[in-house]
Structure 1
Amino acid sequence: MTYTPRGGAPDVGVPADLAARMSVGEQHEWLTSYLRRHPVSRRTALRGGAGVVAAMGLASAPWTLTACAQATQAPVAVVGRHLAYGADPQRQMAFAGELTAAPPPGPLVVDLGRDSSFGTTLPVEVRRLVSQVPQADGAIRGSEQFFVHARADGLAPGERYRYRFRLPDGTTTAEADFTTAPGPGSTAPWSFTAFADQGVDTVPPGGRDEFANTYEADDTRRTMTPSTSLVDRVAAQRPAFHLLAGDICYADPSGHGLPERSDGGSGFDSFDPTVWTTYFGLIERSAASTPWMFATGNHDMEALYDDNHAPGGASHGYGGHAARLDLPRNGPSACPSVYTFRHGNVGVISLDANDLSTEIPTNAGYSGGSQTTWLRETLTALRADPGVDFVVTFFHHCAFATSESHASDAGVRAAVAPVFDEFAVDLVLQGHNHQYERTNPIRRGRSGAQAPDGATVRPETDGTTYVCVGSGGRPRYRWQPGESDRYRGNTGPDSGVSVASYVALGEDAKQPEQIDWSQARYLDYAYVTVDVAPPPFPGATTSLTVRATTDTGQEIDRVVLERRSRT
């Protein structure tokens, strides 16, 4: 059986022919054994250290380690700041960043307050992450990174706060601000944004051109740097929070198992953890003030870290995320990227589709069913909460989408669609397919109503709207043969709602299906904004307006989801 299909999970240095027959845990065991036979001491490795923002250079010796910085280099700084909500966004916020070198002696803290006088000091935890990646030429390429984390609790709902990181020598980061979620009964409108499959546009300073996005020759409806442009738009918009539905930075750019190239040219394919540094630097202009909430995709399963024991625990290739990220810890204990939070009258659920996928079975079934059990319990609680009108879920592999590359995943659809039908989930945000696509509201696998651009949907009776927003920056996919775009201003004769697609039953097993729900399609770069209009009084109408905007700023699709509030 193929556990890790080609392109299905990051290449972390296991030979491609072996990796294709291994689970994430088996890959980790192979790596551990290899590194035992090729030991690298920290002291000798650090002799070749370079700056943290440099990509890992080639080694003439059988190993090299990129250190965060030398003691004689510039003073230590905090870079790549990013926020995340705790389980209670009204009162909790997590602060994270990365040190440019090993932590200096003395306390690192976060200063926090209502204004620049601060008044509260939060302790900072430093999490060290060492990455050693075997290369095809026998070298070991590595890095040592230090991530800093702090948590605030007891904040006031709907309030603005300012913060900064402060190092032992008194140097600080620039000040940034954030706003907690509103308290019960707030009638002020607010918005959140979403996309997936982002990556980075730039080549890391070491010169790995495979990490920069490449595009089709006829790909002319975009900015020069889509990933960066979308972050700029989100930053300018300043949403309440941003959802990223998996495949975050692509530390492994293609997952094709290609060999190391000593000249650094085309054909390079090897896991580079310092791309995470580049990524956090890219999103900082937004994420330092807006919580970025992540789900995990197939390119986020990093076998290098399978036994990492960072706080909260991790397995199945998520140990690196435990060092880099802070996410709410209210999901199943075995699933670090499964969680829920409530913002205003919207309940949000993050799922891990790697646990459910039949197309890419690398991590399928790892939760032993605990995730789907938790999902039902969480939906039951949200629907019983009179203050929650809408339920939004986000995850990576699509339950409903069309494309030539992935389309719909049979395992994901079977696991979640009946439950979403039962609880009348309002909106589902997905990734994996590099495109924008919005369905009609779906119930029992079919369109419950027609919802063209500008339509109003009533999820309680019409069904669940599924949006694939894997259009966050990585090179676009293609539609099925004979199918084409369908979006505002572009509805040609061959761009109907009923199109040919398939359900992925396995890596190469596809079950064709003729579907009737593909309402809007755009094969370039876009993100979703969801504008929330809380009810002005109990029993009044409340709405989510879902808008798709391209990286060039053009709105191409819109639909309104309406409910009658219960409070």
Structure 2
Amino acid sequence: MIVSLLSLAVIGYAASLPTAFKDASLDCRGKKTAPEQLHFNYAGDHGMMISWNTEEKLELPSVLYGRGRSLDQIAFSKVSVTYPTSTTYSNHVFIKGLEPDTEYNFAVQCADENDHHQFKTSLPAGNPRPYSFAFFGDLGTMGPLGLTSYGQKDALGPGEITTMQSLNHFKDQVEFMWHDGDLAYADDWLKEEIDGFLPNTTVEAGAAVYEAILNAFYNEMAGNVTMELPYMVGPGNHEANCDNGGSGDYTDSICAQGQTNFTGFRNHFRMPSEQSGGLENFWYSWDYGMVHYIQFNTETDFLDAPDLPSGSGDENAGPFAPNGTQLEWLKKDLASVDRKKTPWIIVAGHRPWYVDETKCDACQAAFEPLLIEYGVDIALFGHKHFYERMTPVANGILDPNGLDNPSAPWYLVNGAAGHYEGLSSLTTPLENYTVQAIDTVYGWSRFTVHNCTHITQDFIASANGTVLDSATLYKDHNGCKF
């Protein structure tokens, strides 16, 4: 099997190759190659990235796919990567040449015979069809290795479901998910041990605990939603942390290489940076219907970035590109948006600068001028473990129009998805730009793109699906007609 597929590596694709794929399954017998942690994400207008993990390396990861029930095409790659301390390999296969807004079935290498899944490709830029998507930040592992229904400050109440389960419940109402940093909270392992939630381990065994929490998170996400919906992600500080024990008496030496400097994050995902001229999973963009989406990186790669060794934080991460690269890319990307096709621009970065808590001043200095200059409509953030909705604001000045055709961006913070640390408390009195703030429930945001002039955001309580806050933004967009 491997020889036959390697002979096709030059072209990367071949039609009608189910036999070759079945031959590949022979190489799976007796090996630790069963797929886990399955997820997929958009990769350009006509592509999809399929990703999954295995305990052993795959020489030529492959995906069988096709429209309807016909799995008559195959895609493969040589990307099966790992890092020190990881217990799995991350496999990534890019499928290109797909029809837009179209459903496909697929099966990954070494899956059970009937283990098929579906994805739907991106809605073409300019398509006026209304749709919804899910946005959230700061979502961690659930159950015995993370947030539970017992023993924590903000534990789940009786009968309450998690954000993962809530997203599963609403999966037919949204077309993709956007997780804006802080995935899994595996760096909480020492804190969990100090709190007595997990048994104590040696320093040498800490990496294994970290990996166990990380793997549990991705498997929980797969079991609920990432096998069902495209999963777009961005970097947060917990992807760079050595450890979030908070004891004040540990050093970087307590953490193995795989826990620092975004190592797991860089291996586990392949966001569409190649298609958008961005960098890895740190900054990239994509179009979907009437919206141009941008993920940028508030952690590294700009002046005084908090996660840089020279920054205000203590993560000692990055940089990942020459000085100025990220902001040059962001400016170029914003300038290239065709507002006749995608009148809306929505951006996301992890650390907010309009928020009822410690603000990221360096982030504001770096990014806000560009958001204002290019007329960004909505700016989304996580990092703070609550929900906060602002009125449109620019340079600290409230837009007098509010949500009725403002010229300033509309800011929203939602880091209330839930994790071991629980929720944060708001500081009162609230800032003058804050319209609504909630720090008592876990939840996520549903954005509905109605047309080229109206977008609605609903804050949904994960526990019971109740809409706790709702607001609609109106933008004229130069008199758009669709």
Structure 2 length-normalised TM:
0.78
Asked if 1 retains the 8 angstrom alpha-carbon contact of 2:235 and 2:281, the reply is no
CA RMSD, 1 decimal: 3.4
Counterpart residue type for residue 95 of structure 1:
I
1:408-442: CA deviation from partner (whole Å, max 9, x where unpaired) = 21111111122212222111111110001000111
Matches of 2:131 and 2:62, distance apart in 1: 31
Matches of 1:341 and 1:375, distance apart in 2: 13
Aligned residue runs from structure 1 range 73-88, under 5 A: 76-86=33-43, 88=44
In the other structure, the counterpart of 2:342 is 388
Give the Å deviation of 1:377. Answer: 1.4
Structure 1 residue aligned with 2:397, among 424, 427, 446?
446
Q: Secondary structure of the residue that 2:333 maps to in structure 1?
A: helix
Matches of 1:518 and 1:219, distance apart in 2: 27
In the other structure, the counterpart of 1:276 is 214
Matches of 2:426 and 2:51, distance apart in 1: 38
Task: Report % sequence identity.
Answer: 19
Counterpart residue type for residue 142 of structure 2:
D
Structure 2 residue aligned with 1:549, among 426, 439, 460?
460
Give the Å deviation of 1:188. Answer: 1.8
Counterpart residue type for residue 271 of structure 2:
L
Give the Å deviation of 1:244. Answer: 0.6
Give the Å deviation of 1:186. Answer: 2.4
Matches of 1:351 and 1:305, distance apart in 2: 27
In the other structure, the counterpart of 1:230 is 166
Asked if 1 retains the 8 angstrom alpha-carbon contact of 2:261 and 2:317, the reply is no
Counterpart residue type for residue 426 of structure 2:
W
In the other structure, the counterpart of 2:416 is 471
In the other structure, the counterpart of 1:51 is none
Give the Å deviation of 1:224. Answer: 4.1
Matches of 1:156 and 1:124, distance apart in 2: 21
Could you say if the C-alpha distance between residues 72 and 545 of structure 1 is closer, same or farther in structure 2, counting changes exceeding 3 Å? closer
Does residue 99 of structure 2 align to residue 156 of structure 1? yes
Give the Å deviation of 1:305. Answer: 8.2
Counterpart residue type for residue 563 of structure 1:
K
Does residue 135 of structure 2 align to residue 194 of structure 1? yes
In the other structure, the counterpart of 2:251 is none
1:429-485: CA deviation from partner (whole Å, max 9, x where unpaired) = 11110001000111221221475xxxx4323x3x111111101112100111xx2xx
Q: Secondary structure of the residue that 1:286 maps to in structure 2?
A: helix
Matches of 1:261 and 1:223, distance apart in 2: 25
Q: Which runs of 5+ in 1 are unaligned?
A: 1-70, 133-142, 205-209, 309-314, 484-498, 501-514, 536-541
Matches of 1:81 and 1:257, distance apart in 2: 27
In the other structure, the counterpart of 2:184 is 249
Counterpart residue type for residue 519 of structure 1:
V
Does residue 469 of structure 2 align to residue 563 of structure 1? no
Q: Which has the greater radius of gyration?
A: 1
Counterpart residue type for residue 180 of structure 1:
T
Asked if 1 retains the 8 angstrom alpha-carbon contact of 2:141 and 2:214, the reply is no
Give the Å deviation of 1:131. Answer: 3.3
Could you say if the C-alpha distance between residues 194 and 305 of structure 1 is closer, same or farther in structure 2, counting changes exceeding 3 Å? farther
Does residue 374 of structure 2 align to residue 457 of structure 1? no
Matches of 2:228 and 2:154, distance apart in 1: 36
Could you say if the C-alpha distance between residues 326 and 211 of structure 1 is closer, same or farther in structure 2, counting changes exceeding 3 Å? same
Q: Secondary structure of the residue that 1:150 maps to in structure 2?
A: strand
Asked if 2 retains the 8 angstrom alpha-carbon contact of 1:78 and 1:173, the reply is no
Aligned residue runs from structure 1 range 395-434, under 5 A: 395-403=349-357, 407-434=358-385
Could you say if the C-alpha distance between residues 221 and 369 of structure 1 is closer, same or farther in structure 2, counting changes exceeding 3 Å? farther
In the other structure, the counterpart of 2:4 is none
Give the Å deviation of 1:332. Answer: 6.5
Structure 1 length-normalised TM:
0.67
Could you say if the C-alpha distance between residues 447 and 361 of structure 1 is closer, same or farther in structure 2, counting changes exceeding 3 Å? farther
1:192-251: CA deviation from partner (whole Å, max 9, x where unpaired) = 1110100011124xxxxx6768776577778645343333244353x2211111001111
In the other structure, the counterpart of 1:240 is 175
1:45-78: CA deviation from partner (whole Å, max 9, x where unpaired) = xxxxxxxxxxxxxxxxxxxxxxxxxx99787421
Counterpart residue type for residue 325 of structure 2:
S
